[in-house]
Amino acid sequence: MGLMNTRATASALDPALAARLKRGADGLFPAIAQQYDTGEVLMMGWMDDEALHRTLTTGRATYWSRSRQEYWVKGDTSGHVQHVKSVALDCDADTVLVKVDQVGAACHTGARTCFDADVLLRQD
């Protein structure tokens, strides 16, 4: 699957689902990737309607890169694929939870998760 250089203005996402989504001013919403069987939180990426549509129809997690301004399928470059098991919309309809079977590292640093290197401690 090739990457697009610009974001699609129209998407084949189910119109009923698209109508429920609450997006930021840039048309994006957060997508949290979680290991489906252990509950481990792996990473957060950005999606728009087209990225969500691709994720739902291909079974591979697809995100929008704000820095590169293009779609990217997790694992196409690194081999660290996210096989999608389920996708859920949160109660506010502004975030999706993508339960995946993560192959290898989820973080671009090579770590399994993006959330284990900088743990903040509670301050009393």
Give pLDDT tens digits for 69-92: 999 999 999 999 999 999 999 999
Domain ranges of the chain: 28-102
The CB density around residue 79, as the number of other CB atoms within 10 Å, is 9
CATH superfamily of 28-102: Phosphoribosyl-AMP cyclohydrolase (3.10.20.810)
Q: Specify the pTM.
A: 0.86
**Distance (Å) of CA 82 to CA 26, 75, 92:** 25, 7, 25
Contact 81, 75 (CB under 8 A): yes
Mean pLDDT of 51-70: 96
Q: Is-contact 64 47, C-beta < 8 A?
A: yes
